[in-house]
Amino acid sequence: QQPVQSPQAVILREGEDAVINCSSSKALYSVHWYRQKHGEAPVFLMILLKGGEQKGHEKISASFNEKKQQSSLYLTASQLSYSGTYFCGTISMDSNYQLIWGAGTKLIIKP
């Protein structure tokens, strides 16, 4: 079952913060986050594993709430280069490592 991403789109000014959520109705093994810029292939950002791990990459970090089966991606002091569509992918405990993708969140950063 496809994870639900929210919001569908967000417009920010450079320097503002953003949070993108990814929720699943299934017990999750891992959550994967990717960013896709217009006309390019998706690029891997990070993986969060069962256990509530929080990972970070420069000013982009994420958390995984195992009880809620929800992950959040945090973009701090957003830069123009953060613009793009963010996809979460989830692997559930009852799957054979099949990654199921969310519909994506479009992030627009304005100067």
Partner 1 sequence: EAGVTQSPTHLIKTRGQQATLRCSPISGHTSVYWYQQALGLGLQFLLWYDEGEERNRGNFPPRFSGRQFPNYSSELNVNALELEDSALYLCASSLVTGRRPQHFGDGTRLSIL
Where does this chain bind partner 1 (CB under 8 A)? 29-30, 32, 40-44, 47, 49, 87, 89, 91, 96-104
- Compute the least distance from the CB of residue 103 to partner 1, in Å: 5
Smallest distance from partner 1 to CB 31, Å: 10
Q: How far is the CB of 40 from partner 1 (least distance, A)?
A: 7
Q: Decide whether 12 or 47 has the Cβ nearer to partner 1.
A: 47
Q: C-beta of 30: minimal distance to partner 1 in Å?
A: 4
> Could you tell me how many residues make up the chain?
111
Number of H helices, E strands in the chain: 0, 11
Kindly tell me which of 44 and 77 has the beta carbon lying closer to partner 1: 44
Nearer to partner 1, 15 or 37 (CB): 37
At 80 the three-state DSSP class reads: helix
Picking from 102, 70, 73, 96, the residue whose alpha carbon sits closest to that of residue 1 is 102
Buried b (16+ CB within 10 A) or exposed e, 9-47: ebebeeeeebebbbbbeeebebbbbbbeeeeeebeebbe
